[in-house]
Amino acid sequence: MTIKRTDFPDNFIFGVATSSYQIEGATNEDGRGDSIWDTFCREPGRIQDGTGGDVACDHYHLWPQDLDLIQSLGVDAYRFSVAWPRIQPDGKGPVNQKGLDFYERLVDGMLERGLQPYLTLYHWDLPQTLQDEGGWVNRETAYRFAEYARVVAERLGGRVRSYATLNEPWCSSILSYQIGEHAPGLQDRRAALAAAHHLLLGHGEAVKVMRDIVPGSSLGIVLNLQPAYPASDREEDVAAARFADGTFNRWFLDPIFRGEYPADIWDAYGEDVPTVQDGDFAATSQPIDFLGVNYYSRSVNGATGNVRPSESSYTHMGWEVYPQGLTDLLVRINHDYTVPPVYITENGAAYPDELEGGRVHDAQRVEYFKAHVQATSDAVQQGVNVAGYFAWSLMDNFEWAFGYSRRFGMVYVDYGNQQRILKDSAKWYQTLVTRQDAGV
């Protein structure tokens, strides 16, 4: 089966995505403050290969050539994130003009190259000073976030077509404060649920503030959603899937699109539920212009734990390859919620790539992308308003707790000399997006 660009609506956007801490490096330059990831990476045992983001892809210095690279792929848009500690080193108060200057150059650089900027305000690099006061567990952080959003929107304004508040709040709450795999590495469910609530509140407050500053830009949020399937028809397995869907998906979707938490999960959380003040749900459910969906895999749930189907293939992250899950997920959210246009803001796969004679033959990644772009098109055919697709990632980068041991890029990064080398998947994507009628 082949897929071609003309299978999609004319104004459908194709892009590539990255995030600040994963690519920028230069963590001590031009007045940047510490983020919770700088601290976390210094703690022994937190990062699999003992590395951190101090150099990463050195994008802070190499950005002009990286933008050239993106332009050469022929994509329409570039999704990137702003590092809060570059803008406000202490997370509040004084604004660091040099930080704003960097992102202004970057945005202008995109526009000069015909690339639409899709900006994310928070891709997990919380200023350490705010963490010292409790981080997202502290309600005040939500209001600090709205101030930071104001500062960025005032400088970059309507040049940025799309502002996302948060990337994957499940990760910056549950994975960070309950499971403890991400910074700040706590293991406390009650704290995690407070963090999730304050993230959602911060999202809503930021949307309110930005509406007036950038009325022409589209505002939204990016969630990592994972459809949950039962391992069998047995009642216990169906209940397990419903619970997984509730904690992972509905806990974030419902406050945004219904102004409430899902009752079944609220009851299951017992004493650990967050304190919700009057007006909080009015904030979390502020109208938004788009929903960003990051899709990587599904979960298969049994009463006694998750199941890993043996006939499936798995990526280097151990995530099952299941493209049908993307179609199912999109159709389902379109059915269950009144959703604005949806973007697939991330989709991709890590594989252990090897550079051979200047080339990277990442056939599995090509297959992964092909199947998921097709799955996106299937959802469009079934009536879901999908407005764009962003590949994760433009280039190999710092994969959080896995350090540099996982490669998600369409472009290979040789960390020894910072060379960028197009993998076969980048060439495949280039053909898809630039040769309108070429089946790839």
Say which of 24, 320, 346, 399 is annotated catalytic: 346
Nearer to ligand NCW, 37 or 281 (CB): 37
The least distance separating ligand NCW from the CB of residue 347, rounded to whole angstroms, comes to 9
Closer to ligand NCW by CB, 145 or 402: give it. Answer: 402
Min dist CB 294 to ligand NCW, Å, is 6
Per CB under 6 A, does 19 bind ligand NCW?
yes
Span from 54-62, 164-172, 378-386, 418-426 in contact with ligand NCW (CB under 6 A): 164-172
| Contact between 34 and ligand NCW per CB under 6 A | no
Closest CA to 222 of 120, 83, 327, 322: 120
Among 351, 399, 412, 426, binds ligand NCW (CB under 6 A): 399
Is 346 marked active-site?
yes
Smallest separation, CB 243 to ligand NCW (Å): 14
When asked if residue 168 is in the footprint of ligand NCW (CB under 6 A), the reply is yes
Nearest approach in angstroms of CB 70 to ligand NCW is 17
Terminal CA-to-CA distance of the chain, rounded, Å? Answer: 8
Interface with ligand NCW in residues 377-396 (CB under 6 A): 392
Distance, in Å, from the CA atom of 223 to the CA atom of 252, rounded to the nearest integer, reads 8
Query: Is 271 one of the annotated active-site residues of the chain?
Result: no
171 part of the interface to ligand NCW, by CB under 6 A: yes
Beta strand 77-81 pairing with 116-122 = parallel
The site for ligand NCW, by CB under 6 A, has a size of 12
Looking at beta carbons only, is 168 or 205 nearer to ligand NCW?
168
What tokens does 336 get? 């269950």
> By CB under 6 A, what part of segment 291-310 binds ligand NCW?
294
| By CB under 6 A, residue 400 contacts ligand NCW | yes
Catalytic residue among 24, 168, 320, 399: 168
Least Cβ distance, residue 425 to ligand NCW (angstroms): 15
Site string for ligand NCW, 113-152 (x = CB under 6 A): ----------------------------------------
Task: List, in sequence order, every residue forming a beta bridge with 389; answer none if it has no partner.
Answer: 14, 344
Does residue number 245 form part of the binding site for ligand NCW (CB under 6 A)?
no
Stretch that binds ligand NCW, among 100-108, 165-173, 190-198, 336-344 (CB under 6 A): 165-173
The least CB distance from residue 386 to ligand NCW, in Å, is 18
196 or 209: whose CB is closer to ligand NCW? 196
Q: In this complex, which beta carbon is closest to ligand NCW, that of residue 22 or of residue 376?
A: 22
Distance CA 325, CA 403 (A): 28
Q: Of 232, 231, 226, nearest to 246 (Cα)?
A: 226
Q: What is the binding site for ligand NCW (CB under 6 A)?
A: 19, 22, 167-168, 171, 224, 294, 346, 392, 399-400, 408
Tell me which residues are annotated as active site. 168, 346
